[in-house]
Structure 1
Amino acid sequence: MRSLFITLFFCGSVGIILAQGSAFGIKGGITASRQRWDNNFDRDMLLRYHGIAFIESLAEDTRFSLFAQAGYHIKGSAIRTPRSAVTGSGGTIFTVPAQQISFEYRNASLTVGAKQHLDLDLGDKKLYYLFGLRGEYTINTLLGPRIPNEYDIFTIYYPIPEFVRKINYGITVGGGIHVPFDDLVGVLLEFTVNPDFSYQYDQPPLENIINPNPWAPRGNITLPQRRSTNLAFELSLGFRFLRKVIYVD
């Protein structure tokens, strides 16, 4: 039911946009994301990328417009550890190399919302801010190193694919500037903050898990409940094209 409502809302918004004339285009850039985890240590920020196609209403008598956009975003978090020395149970010293381990969620998104252009005297340039409701679907993931590392002592903290939630939702807020080249073509620079309100990962407590740390005492351990939400900051650069509807009597 929720998916049907989102689909109808999106189709209705696109219909309204096209009826008034429209602007459309593509944008993309850097995604800096992190995850808030329950009952777990903090992750570092993950730097990846995104790409978005968008359409918005166009009305010369108002600074307000509706928009809809679909995109591809790589979100998640990372673990970065420096090179270190670890003393084993027999007193042997092992050198653990520096590591950077990524946890990636490759998501397709659909966002509908509104934009408001500011009434500032900047010539042809236009500043704006926006707010949108966003739904996402996880296409695939990377939940650990591509090549296993025998010195990796953090595998016990890696997300387990079975507990990844495919469908998530949140909001998009931000603003930007539009600079026209001529009457029909322009560029835009935009910054948005994208918090999720649902859990990307939701794992219940797990008992009798073998501890993979080779320097820890042998025996099984219990993993507490672990849940995480995505928070992404995106900087986009793109092209914006106008499609004007001219009414003839």
Structure 2
Amino acid sequence: MRILISLIAISSLFVSDLVSQSFIFGVDGGVSMGLQSWNGFQRDPLFRYHFDGYIESWNEENKFTLFVRAGYHVRGGAIRTRAWYDPDTGQEFDGGTTNMEFHNLMLMFGGKQKFDVGVSSKLYYMFGIRAEYTLKSDFDGYMASYEGLHNDFVFGVSVGAGYEVPFSRWTGATFEVSVHPDFTKQIFIPEQDTGYNDPNGERIFIQEQNVTNLTIEFTIGLRFLREIIYID
């Protein structure tokens, strides 16, 4: 929680100071690939979406900038299950993919280091610290009973690289690939008895789950310069 309070305070001070000078602002969004490791299951990527708004410092050289980003991100993962038959009940269960989604509000504070490419385009790499609040969880199939067991707050870091393409001095586009590992757990589930037996008559248990998010994001955005010119 101290991380969240510190991040909100730093972001608020940064934004309040930035609005009195020239700055970059913009919107972006794209595809998210969520990866989670669930004990005892084969995992699949979960493809969902994200979108953000951001504000970023600016100067004429535009080599290093600080930014605050806030948005909506669907994190999570998917697991594969095999078809099986319960001899006690005669019930057949289809195999397939089960999705686990976490719908998160995200706040990030970070920096970008930029490098000139050609006349006015720039390559950059970025690093940020994130705090996220989970609005809801959405699980498919027999995992649906575990909805709502998530931790409300998760924290992590973000690293990425991107390309800025100007349309004019005041407008442009961005293309970015980023990786977002969490360092706190999104959900914890103790060992569970499913109430079913396998074909050998042995009880089926779901192993204890202690799950952390890892998300890869592919993002396209628009950026705008709000330029303040001081006249003596």
TM-score (norm 2): 0.87
Q: Secondary structure at the residue paired with 2:65?
A: strand
1:15 Cα offset (Å): 2.5
| 2:114 equivalent to 1:117 | yes
1:247 Cα offset (Å): 1.6
Q: Secondary structure at the residue paired with 1:103?
A: strand
Structure 2 counterpart of 1:89: 87
CA distance in 2, matches of 1:171, 1:205: 29
Bigger strand fraction: 2
Q: Is the 8 A contact 2:11 2:68 kept in 1?
A: yes
CA distance in 1, matches of 2:194, 2:178: 41
Q: Is the 8 A contact 2:173 2:222 kept in 1?
A: yes
Q: Deviations over 1:35-65 (max 9, x none)?
A: 134x433421100010111110011145111
Question: 1:10/1:42 Cα in 2 relative to 1: closer, same or farther (>3 Å)?
Answer: farther
| 2:101 equivalent to 1:104 | yes
CA distance in 2, matches of 1:51, 1:96: 37
Structure 1 counterpart of 2:208: 225
Partner letter of residue 128 of structure 1? Answer: Y
Q: Is the 8 A contact 1:17 1:58 kept in 2?
A: no
Structure 2 counterpart of 1:16: 17
Partner letter of residue 80 of structure 2? Answer: R
| 2:230 equivalent to 1:244 | no
Q: Secondary structure at the residue paired with 1:242?
A: strand
Q: Deviations over 1:54-87 (max 9, x none)?
A: 11001114511110010111111112357x5x46
Q: Secondary structure at the residue paired with 2:41?
A: coil
Structure 2 counterpart of 1:126, from 122, 133, 139: 122
Q: Deviations over 1:79-128 (max 9, x none)?
A: 2357x5x46538x8x8754522211001110000001111x342221111
Partner letter of residue 234 of structure 1? Answer: E
Q: Secondary structure at the residue paired with 2:36?
A: strand
CA distance in 1, matches of 2:85, 2:112: 58
Structure 2 counterpart of 1:193, from 151, 154, 179: 179
Q: Deviations over 1:133-187 (max 9, x none)?
A: 0000101111123xxxxxxxxx3x6672353101000011101111111111111
CA distance in 1, matches of 2:148, 2:174: 39
Structure 1 counterpart of 2:189: 203
Partner letter of residue 16 of structure 1? Answer: D
Which runs of 5 or more structure 2 residues have no equivalent in the other structure? none
Question: 1:103/1:32 Cα in 2 relative to 1: closer, same or farther (>3 Å)?
Answer: same
TM-score (norm 1): 0.82
Question: 1:163/1:96 Cα in 2 relative to 1: closer, same or farther (>3 Å)?
Answer: closer
Q: Is the 8 A contact 2:184 2:212 kept in 1?
A: yes
Aligned pair count? 230
Question: 1:67/1:20 Cα in 2 relative to 1: closer, same or farther (>3 Å)?
Answer: same
1:18 Cα offset (Å): 2.5
Q: Secondary structure at the residue paired with 1:16?
A: helix
Q: CA RMSD in A?
A: 2.6
Which runs of 5 or more structure 1 residues have no equivalent in the other structure? 146-154
CA distance in 2, matches of 1:104, 1:127: 32
Q: Is the 8 A contact 1:40 1:226 kept in 2?
A: no
